[in-house]
Amino acid sequence: MSDLFDEYPILILGLEALLALGLLIFIVVWTTSGKKNRKRP
């Protein structure tokens, strides 16, 4: 596995970017779903 990252170091950046994008989407969905459950007076 380390040989793969030694040959293609851009894969580490790609995996990190995918992880950051997934985390961003999760945070956005989680925060917007919390607003729908509130009742307005």
pLDDT at residue 1 greater than cutoff 80? no
pLDDT at residue 37 greater than cutoff 60? no
First CA to last CA across the chain, in angstroms?
57
pLDDT tens, 2-26? Answer: 788 788 889 899 999 999 999 999 9
Cα–Cα distance measured from residue 22 to residue 26, given in angstroms and rounded to the nearest whole number: 6
What whole-number distance in Å separates Cα of residue 15 and Cα of residue 39? 40
Confidence (pLDDT) at 31: 93
Contact present, 5 and 12 (Cβ < 8 Å)? yes
Residue that has been written with the tokens 């997934």 in this structure: 22
pTM, entire model? 0.65
In terms of C-beta distances under 8 Å and separation of at least 24 residues, what long-range contacts does 19-28 make, across chains too? Answer: none
